Amino acid sequence: MSLSKSKIIETLRGVIYFAKGDNIIDLGMLDELEVSESSIIFRLIFPKLGEPAVNIVSNAATKALHEAFGSDIEIKITPITEKEKGRGPLAGVRNIIAIASGKGGVGKSTVAANLAIALSRTGSMVGLVDADIYGPSIPMMFGVEGQSPAMTEREGKPFIVPIEKFGIKLLSIGFFVDTDKPLVWRGPMATSALNQLLSDADWGVLDYLVIDLPPGTGDIQLTLAQSYSVTGAVVVTTPQKVAFADVKRAATMFRQDKLKIPLLGLIENMAYFIPDDMPDKKYYIFGKGHGEIFADSLQIPLLGQIPIVEKITTSGDTGSPIALDEDSPIAKAFMEVAIRVKNIIKENKS
């Protein structure tokens, strides 16, 4: 059977990259296809090369081509990354930081929003993805509820343009659904939404892309770990032991052999209470020293202890994250966390 590029492309259209739920041709993964009388040579572009899907997709492509054109045909497939190709919506993103917790109610989204602000205040270019699919809160925290991202087109493919507020590029599933109604989604729908927020958006050049994960250890966490090059994860807990028990499971998930996302450290949220009329007082209403104990048990740094103040609630409800208030003790705490996170990432890469 004669070899033609059109027939080869049509054959490869049957090879699915399940992490993104489509075939490798429509996903634009085929690169530099070379065809001779007895050989087919091309490259396949992946978000990263450490995932099992690289071998699975490459083997599936080889099998499909041998079945279509005969087992005597030489097939050479070279996997490369999107960054190597110098393209892809995340090619300009230097670091991805996942914000995780084992349970809801520990203030994870508040930490993600204010850490993004603090990183931006250090002079970095920052984006924030609200990947908490079932409870998106970032639009409210940034005062952009009801807004819709614009669309742009690049190389014939449409891309979402993140909304910008306070110098942060923002995307949330809350921009695309009715947040007054519950999302009743199975795992594949949730992971598809995550992929759209990351891979179908025009993020441009960023120093840090902060991702607010849903609580727990589900499909969203697995998809992020297996399909994207995550620089590291920050785990958030409150001082109670029951909260840390769930956080410990979340931290352990990132240390599994198939995931291996570095743990940058632990943030103890609601560590102590500061009254507005007595800013020098600290009341450890949930107990003192738990953050250090929790971090030591995980063998990771304690990045910071975030206090409770009345303004942290009102600032989130009014769409102005408290880290914007330079005089706030919480803003100062988040700045310290941001600097520590940057230094740890720098040390890990050196």
Task: Please tell me the predicted confidence (pLDDT) of residue 178.
Answer: 65
- Residues 131-152 have pLDDT tens digits of 887 778 899 999 998 888 999 8
Residue 180: predicted pLDDT: 63
Whether the pLDDT of residue 87 is over 60: the answer is no
**pLDDT for res 257:** 67
Is residue 348 predicted with pLDDT exceeding 80?
Answer: yes
Q: Is the pLDDT of residue 88 over 90?
A: no
Provide CB contacts within 8 A for 48, sequence distance 6+.
81, 227, 228, 229
* 209-233 pLDDT per residue, tens: 999 998 876 778 888 877 788 899 9
| pLDDT above 90: residue 318 | no
pLDDT above 90: residue 304? yes
Mean pLDDT of 49-63: 92
What is the pLDDT at residue 183? 59
Ranges of each domain in the chain: 5-83, 96-349
The CATH code of domain 96-349 reads: 3.40.50.300
- Most distant CA pair in the chain: distance in Å? 84
What span, in angstroms and rounded, lies between the C-alpha atoms of 118 and 122?
Answer: 7
CATH 3.30.300.130 fits 5-83, yes or no: yes
- Would you tell me how many other CB atoms lie within 10 Å of the CB of residue 98? 27
The model's pTM is: 0.75
Using pLDDT thresholds of 50, 70 and 90, give the confidence band for residue 1.
low
Whether the pLDDT of residue 181 is over 70: the answer is no
Buried b (16+ CB within 10 A) or exposed e, 55-94: eebbebbbebbeebbeeebebebebebbbebeebbbbbbb
Please, which pLDDT band fits residue 155 given cuts at 50, 70 and 90? low
- pLDDT tens-digit map of 114-125: 999 999 999 999
Q: Is 5-83's fold the same as 96-349's?
A: no
Give the model's pLDDT for residue 182. Answer: 59
Whether the predicted pLDDT of 184 surpasses 70: no
Tell me how far apart the alpha carbons of residues 146 and 144 are, in angstroms, rounded to a whole number. 6
Q: How far from chain centre, in Å, is Cα 331?
A: 23
> Using a CB cutoff of 8 Å and minimum separation of 24, what contacts does 48-52 make?
48/81, 48/227, 48/228, 48/229, 49/79, 49/80, 49/81, 50/260, 51/19, 51/226, 51/227, 52/226, 52/258
Most confident of 113-122, 175-184, 306-315: 113-122
Beta strands in the chain (DSSP E): 16-17, 22-23, 30-35, 39-46, 74-81, 96-100, 126-130, 150-154, 157-161, 163-165, 168-172, 208-212, 232-237, 263-273, 302-308
